[in-house]
Amino acid sequence: MKILKRNILILIITVIILSDISSDIYLPSLPKISDFFAVDYTIAQLTISLNLVGISISGLLYGPLSDYYGRRPIMLLGVGIFMLASIACCFANDIIVLIIMRFVQGFGAGVAGVVGYAIIKDMYSGSECAKNISIVNMAVALSPVLGPILGSAIIAHGYHWNVLFIIISIMAILVLGCLFVFLKETIILGKIDSNISFLSVMRKYKELILNIRFCGFALIQSFTIMWIWSCIANLPFIFVKDMGVPVSYYGYFVAINVAAYIVGAVLNQRFVERFGINNMLLLGLILTTLSDMSVLILYQMLEITPLLAEIMWIPSGMGIAFILGNNMTAAFSEIREPGIGSAFILFLQTIFGALGIYILGCFYDGTLIPVILFPIICSVICIVIYVLLRMSGKDNKSEFISV
């Protein structure tokens, strides 16, 4: 049984990495695509934003469908859609076609985060679930580093931008084959009413919205993703354009925080059983807040370099690892159907992430001040939500409340 669970966990990690890297590897090719189709750069960026829209919308469907019909068929369906859309992107001869196919690709990719995390919840519970989510997050954290580096190398060697989609398509075919052979069903379908309808799905989402504690954890997750995405979107402009970091070195600056995240995930896996999910979650929120406050104070006192800023953000990177895995586990402990719960959280955090990018973009002034203040504000909001949850439900759920 342990071997079966381990193999399924490896499959889930592979699917989620494939979903993430399909955009990360593609980012360096945006200028090439803009030139190839003779369109403005903002039009080329629609291939990214519409992909995110596809991911967020599809998650709302995959969650309840996987709760009713099982994880395996829905996972195969989503990855199949992703594979076909990736192949179509290889042959796109018009920017509109590419944008539409990227939306469809995102619609397929949405299955990874929703059904993937639901499968982990099916197989594990409590601190064991938090540990394995940390393992998944640790592996997935590599894609923002490896993706752009690989994509840049391919484009730098003079290959056409559609070579990236050929690589993604081949990976998708291999992953779909492995899922078909090795992925086993992880829920007992006989225990779930298979009469699904639009109204029944809406009732499920209504139940989630009325579940105050679940919504609290969903908001913590969403506010955290909100400031992470906004910083990821704005730091390249500040570091490269305003602070003079060479483009070829930017990936290494990102790697510092990714390495911190991986260390945090390892530590969380090791200590979550000893200290409890709630304490590790609170520690993560405190680390992210204090880390950014330290950068803000130092930034006011002297001229801070990008390298020094990234080094001072190391505790924040570790804190993110403590937050994301433990918070998802705490959220799942409040509901009976993790599939639809995972879908709701994915949708909410995608909306918050896009909103955060827009908000921080409005305050862009070429300095680090907005990028420092925004995470502090979001983290303080998360701490307030956490405290309210602790006050409202002591001894309500075993794992979240265990100290």
CB atoms near residue 206 (< 10 Å): 10
Radius of gyration of the chain (CA): 21
Q: What is the pLDDT along the chain (403 residues), one digit of tens a residue?
A: 666 778 888 899 899 989 988 877 877 677 778 888 988 866 887 887 788 888 888 888 888 888 888 899 999 999 999 999 999 999 999 999 999 999 999 999 999 988 988 888 888 877 787 778 777 877 777 776 677 778 777 877 778 888 999 999 999 999 999 999 999 888 875 555 556 676 777 888 888 899 999 999 999 999 999 998 888 777 876 787 778 877 667 777 878 888 898 899 889 888 888 888 899 999 999 999 999 999 999 988 887 888 899 999 999 999 999 998 799 889 988 887 777 887 888 889 888 887 887 788 788 787 889 999 999 999 999 999 999 998 886 545 444 444 3
CB under 8 Å to 377, separation ≥6 — which residues? 227
Please tell me the predicted confidence (pLDDT) of residue 340: 81
Give ranges for CATH 1.20.1250.20 in the chain: 1-187, 197-393
Please tell me the predicted confidence (pLDDT) of residue 191: 52
Q: Could you tell me the pTM of the whole model?
A: 0.75
Q: How far apart are CA 168 and CA 282, in angstroms?
A: 38
Please tell me the predicted confidence (pLDDT) of residue 195: 61
Please tell me the predicted confidence (pLDDT) of residue 192: 55
Q: Residue for token digits 């303080």?
A: 380
HEC-encoded secondary structure of the chain: CHHHHHHHHHHHHHHHHHHHHHHHCCHHHHHHHHHHCCCCHHHHCHHHHHHHHHHHHHHHHHHHHHHHHCHHHHHHHHHHHHHHHHHHHHCCCCHHHHHHHHHHHHHHHHHHHHHHHHHHHHHCCHHHHHHHHHHHHHHHCCHHHHHHHHHHHHHHCCCCCHHHHHHHHHHHHHHHHHHHHHCCCCCCHHHCCCCCCHHHHHHHHHHHHHCHHHHHHHHHHHHHHHHHHHHHHHHHHHHHHHCCCCHHHHHHHHHHHHHHHHHHHHHHHHHHHHHCHHHHHHHHHHHHHHHHHHHHHHHHHCCCCHHHHHHHCHHHHHHHHHHHHHHHHHHHCCCCCHHHHHHHHHHHHHHHHHHHHHHHHHCCCCCCHHHHHHHHHHHHHHHHHHHHHHHHCCCCCHHHHCC
Degrees to nearest 5, angle at CA 304 with 299 and 307? 130
* Nearest alpha-carbon partner for 58 in 73, 77, 71, 43: 77
Domain 197-393 has CATH 3.40.50.1000: no
Domain spanning 1-187, CATH architecture: Up-down Bundle (1.20)
Burial of 118 (0-12, 13-18, 19+ CB in 10 A): buried
Q: How far apart are CA 66 and CA 82, in angstroms?
A: 17
Read off the tokens for 70: 């099982």
Degrees to nearest 5, angle at CA 214 with 211 and 216? 105
